[in-house]
Structure 1
Amino acid sequence: MNIDIDINFSDNLEASVDEDDEIQLTPAEAIALMEEAWINEKFAPEILPHKLELVECLLGQISYMEDNLRSLNSTDFKKIIHQLEVDRLRFLISSYLRTRLEKIETYVMPILDEENERIQQGVELYLTKQELKFAKDFAEDLQHHFDNITTTRLPREEWNQECVKPNIHSFVFLKSKEEVEGIVIDDGNDEDGDLVDLNRGSQMIISYKSVANLVKNGDVHLI
């Protein structure tokens, strides 16, 4: 679930889930959500729905903290501690974004195909506008490179079909944040899978396809 966040860095962050409901996030809670999104993105085989609002929220927090750092004396020990926190936030955000770009580069054609389906269906996209532009430009450059060096070896249609796709049946390690019943274990076989229940706080190794929607809606998180 994407959260639209209206930044107020005095004490709390106001987050709007829809037009009628608002929740309050402290900076610490926003950072915890970003850390969870980062770890999910690292361990999920497919690209996940973007967290642009959360990224922008924390970039605003970084700017706020840097403004405060300028007012501190260079010999003040608190300045060192706060600078370390700023550096940690910068690493967290950059690693999250870099992981998404690496997935786009690796699975560009499947990602674009799935994103085009979402556009046609009018549902929420997984990529930001900048990521979608990057993906299209990367695919175009890749196609141009392919046309220049391999047109006599493999037709373009066959090349598109041979693109690497994420293995959504790979196993992941997760922790449940909610009580979840009746998860169908999907390991890629045609046979009907067994059912498993998750208790709050329980941990499990399971096929990603079985819990993909639970990861995306926040009922579980990868570890």
Structure 2
Amino acid sequence: MDLDDTNLEDLNDSNDSEDYVHITPAEVLELMEETWVNEKFAPEILPNKTEVVDIILEQIKSMEVNIKNLSNDDFTKNIYQLEVDKLRFMVTSYLRTRLEKIESYVVHILKEEEKRVEKGESKYLSEQEYKFAQDYSRSMDRYFNKIMNFCPNLTSDTWSSKVIEPNNNSFVFMKSKKTIEGLPIDITNADSDLVDIKSGSRVIICYSSIEELVKNGDVNLI
């Protein structure tokens, strides 16, 4: 009933990576939980982890089939069902959090995605999320343009120029997975003090100082 061993792309690399690693069931679950918590506490939308989500969804389907084959008198059936419910909750919460961020910062997110495409970088959104963001943006444009008809003194530029962005200068709690030397406390200040963080340390810090470390997996948000 446990997760099966699986081979998959190195999940810390881009989606275009050709390197494969062996990852254990426990590592898949840990990675899913880290992915979910990071997305939950990061002010911006993070690079999508569709590989992890797809693996978990496949395992949920497999586990549900096995659960149906168990007798209702088998006590372990409820235990396994709780495990499935936990996995489903993490995946659902993770995807819902990403959709909420898209709805909140859709214009900003689409502009950032365009910049990544121009630079030849991987997009943060999955194909489904990107389509949702485009459709949502067009719907918002139509809605506000319709509202403007009742406000003759306002033009579409009045609201379209007000791009809502995530506050990457907000403070977050983090746990370091490795020793990090010379980390700037305030990345916006060239004269910012530098600190060394030992592996396993838990600190509160400005998100902008560690955003790249979160994305490459050197630190986790907590």
1:16 Cα deviation from its structure 2 partner: 2.4
1:191 Cα deviation from its structure 2 partner: 5.2
Q: Which residue of 2 aligns with 1:178?
A: 178
Separation (CA, whole Å) in 2 of partners of 1:156 and 1:177: 47
Cα pair 2:46 2:215 within 8 Å, conserved: yes
Tell me: CA distance 1:54–1:149, structure 2 relative to 1, closer, same or farther (3 Å).
Answer: same
Separation (CA, whole Å) in 2 of partners of 1:153 and 1:79: 64
Tell me: CA distance 1:139–1:197, structure 2 relative to 1, closer, same or farther (3 Å).
Answer: same
Q: Which residue of 1 aligns with 2:14?
A: none
1:104 Cα deviation from its structure 2 partner: 0.2
One-letter code aligned to 1:142: M
Tell me: CA distance 1:148–1:87, structure 2 relative to 1, closer, same or farther (3 Å).
Answer: same
Cα pair 1:173 1:204 within 8 Å, conserved: yes
Q: Which residue of 2 aligns with 1:23?
A: 21
Separation (CA, whole Å) in 2 of partners of 1:181 and 1:191: 17
Q: Which residue of 2 aligns with 1:6?
A: none
One-letter code aligned to 2:83: E
Cα pair 2:3 2:59 within 8 Å, conserved: no
Q: Which residue of 1 aligns with 2:221?
A: 222
Does residue 102 of structure 1 match 2:95? no
SS in 2 for 1:28: helix
Listed as ranges, the gaps of 5+ residues in structure 1 are 1-8
SS in 1 for 2:220: strand
Match 1:77 to one of 75, 78, 81: 75
Listed as ranges, the gaps of 5+ residues in structure 2 are 11-16
Tell me: CA distance 1:54–1:198, structure 2 relative to 1, closer, same or farther (3 Å).
Answer: same
Cα pair 1:169 1:187 within 8 Å, conserved: no
**CA deviation digits over 1:177-202, x for unaligned, max 9?**
011111112265x5521111111000
**CA deviation digits over 1:119-178, x for unaligned, max 9?**
111101100000000000001000100000125343323322212210010000000001
Q: Which residue of 2 aligns with 1:164?
A: 164
SS in 2 for 1:183: strand
Does residue 14 of structure 1 match 2:7? yes
Q: Which residue of 2 aligns with 1:206?
A: 205
Q: Which residue of 1 aligns with 2:132?
A: 134
**CA deviation digits over 1:194-217, x for unaligned, max 9?**
111111000111100000000000
1:80 Cα deviation from its structure 2 partner: 0.7
Separation (CA, whole Å) in 1 of partners of 2:155 and 2:211: 34
- Count of aligned residue pairs for this structure pair: 213
My pick for the range that moved more, 175-184 or 93-102, is 175-184
The ranges of structure 1 where at least 4 consecutive aligned residues each deviate by more than 4 angstroms after the TM superposition are none
Does residue 116 of structure 1 match 2:114? yes
Separation (CA, whole Å) in 2 of partners of 1:139 and 1:10: 38
Q: Which residue of 2 aligns with 1:38?
A: 36
RMSD: 1.6
Separation (CA, whole Å) in 1 of partners of 2:175 and 2:105: 27
Separation (CA, whole Å) in 2 of partners of 1:42 and 1:150: 35
Q: Percent identity?
A: 51
TM-score (norm 2): 0.91
Tell me: CA distance 1:153–1:65, structure 2 relative to 1, closer, same or farther (3 Å).
Answer: farther
